[in-house]
Amino acid sequence: MTITPVLLCGGSGTRLWPLSRKSYPKQFAPLVGDTTLFQASSQRLTGDGYAAPLVLTNSDFRFIVAEQLQEVGIDPGAILIEPEGRNTAPAVLAAALWLEKTDPDCLMLVAPSDHVVPDPDAFRAAVAAGEAAARSGQLVTFGIKPTHAETGYGYLELDGDPGDFSPNPLALKRFVEKPDLQTAEEMLASGQYLWNAGIFLFSVKAILAAFRAHAPALIAPVQAAVDEGQTDLGFLRLDPAAWAGADDISIDYAVMERAENLTVVPFAAGWSDLGGWDAVWRESAPDADGVVTSDNATAIDCENSLLRSEDAGLEVVGIGLKDIITVAMPDAVLVADANRAQDVKKAVAALKEKSAKQAVQFPKDHRPWGWFESLVIGERFQVKRIHVHPGAALSLQSHHHRSEHWIVVEGTAKVTVDDTVKLVTENQSVYIPLGAVHRMENPGKVPMVLIEVQTGSYLGEDDIIRYEDVYARS
């Protein structure tokens, strides 16, 4: 019986703004180390006894998921596309119903894709410790040994002494909501509580039985969403109408808090959900002064501070800072008291209120074929840098309101303009008249980069008429 990792990959992570945004959330960023959180999660759940990961994400992220798995040499199993976020219960149920058809005897290891676990071997050992209980029909959850009185997590109350918190299956008494500080301090002192990490191990049969017993109203809409889903370039798009009929509810509320066949495995080898910049600071090995800096940041006489620049051309310098978080992006800068790290989501809300695009839109727009970023925007012109992956192609398209000039600066482009197809190499350019049917492709083995200058009365991304698209976008 194999273990199939089920990676939940649809959150927005607003508390890590400006690096994490709705259009490109934290799981796809290398917040700690050289790989992204999603890639590290995928690598942690590979090896002997593990099947290819099943991923649940949304339509905007489907190609990012596939691309990032490919970068670390992991072939995904199914990638299920959620038409809209309905919380974790419908997502887990959809995965279970899919596996019921494809691998009904497997164990499901459900995990968020944005956690940090410094010791993957220790985590896999904890999973192995819970296997026997899961095979016997138990719903196994993994609880983290608390290191401080945290108010941002739910807790698990143990029905017994955890001893040295070694990874052994224990009886679980109850789930506890996020506490206030005094309650969190009391629970920490008691030694009878674990942080709820939202990681679960169970058989397909056991979790489906639990849904039928405790959340039967979810079965029909989610089953219909899976059965009526449409295959699209290797992804399974869950049926939108059926999916909309599923309650928006977490797996904890729907099933876990009501089930009696619960087991918890403690995990004490290090874990963080990176729920704020304070957590990133803690996981980034602060120096003797408590300072963490990125490659493009300098701290002078600073204490207990995080200085981070996400742009190689933008230097961040802090002088005499204490308990300060500074994160600089090309289009936005966050400066915050480290003790107010959980309030960063208020900044996102304030930016949304004033309709600032920085609230949700990442500076780079990721596409199935690569990415682009705007370098200069004027009233009737825009300059972009466009990066096209080897072998990738943009759609065959035209525009009503703009013409374009393309200058290739790296690699070679295969360019179609109406009936003309030609190769354009470095330092060469081509003009795309308004209304011309055109396409760019990268026929080479290395990335192709070009500078695009748009001119016209309207420069929005919705001024595109697509005639052909290998990625099946509407």
DSSP-derived secondary structure for 264-294: EEEE-S--B---SHHHHHHHT---TTSEEE-
**b/e sequence 301-330, b meaning 16+ C-beta within 10 Å:** ebebbbbbbbeeeeebebeebebbbbbbbb
CA 374 to each of CA 75, 387, 445, 463: distance values in angstroms, whole numbers, following the listed order: 32, 12, 25, 16
CA 347 to each of CA 151, 321, 325, 334, 364: distance values in angstroms, whole numbers, following the listed order: 20, 21, 14, 9, 20
Q: What is the 3-state secondary structure (H, E, C) of 413-464?
A: EEEEECCEEEEECCCCEEEECCCCCEEEECCCCCCEEEEEEEEECCCCCCCC
**Calpha distance 326→333 (Å, rounded):** 7
pTM here is 0.88
pLDDT for the residue numbered 474: 58
**Calpha distance 167→121 (Å, rounded):** 12
Q: Is residue 75 within 8 Å of 69, Cβ to Cβ?
A: yes
Residue ranges in the chain whose pLDDT is less than 70: 473-474
**b/e sequence 208-218, b meaning 16+ C-beta within 10 Å:** bbbbeebbeeb
**Calpha distance 461→439 (Å, rounded):** 15
Q: What is the 3-state secondary structure (H, E, C) of 142-201?
A: EEECCCCCCCCCCEEEECCCCCCCCCCCEEEEEEECCCCHHHHHHHHHHCCEEEEEEEEE
pLDDT for the residue numbered 473: 66
- Tell me the three state secondary structure of residue 229: coil
pLDDT for the residue numbered 341: 92
**b/e sequence 77-88, b meaning 16+ C-beta within 10 Å:** bbbbbbbeebbb
Q: Is 264 exposed, middle or buried (0-12, 13-18, 19+ CB in 10 A)?
A: buried
Cβ within 8 Å of residue 462, ≥6 positions away: none
pLDDT for the residue numbered 199: 96
Number of H helices, E strands in the chain: 11, 28
Mutual angle of helices 37-44 and 62-71, in 10-degree steps? 60
Q: Is 139 exposed, middle or buried (0-12, 13-18, 19+ CB in 10 A)?
A: buried
- On the question of a cis peptide bond just before residue 53, with omega within 30 degrees of 0, the verdict is no
Structural domains for the chain: 3-267 (3.90.550.10), 277-351 (no CATH), 364-468 (2.60.120.10)
DSSP H/E element including 335: strand 333-337
What is the C-alpha R_g of the chain?
Answer: 24
Tens of pLDDT, residue by residue over 405-453, are 999 999 999 999 999 999 999 999 999 999 999 999 999 999 999 999 9
Residue type, 152: G
Place of tokens 């071997």: 121
Cβ within 8 Å of residue 56, ≥6 positions away: 6, 7, 8, 9, 10, 79, 80, 82, 91, 94, 95
Residue type, 113: S
pLDDT for the residue numbered 62: 85
Beta strands 230-232 and 438-441 are unpaired
pLDDT for the residue numbered 232: 75
pLDDT for the residue numbered 472: 74
Both tokens assigned to 320: 């005499």
Strand partners, 223: none
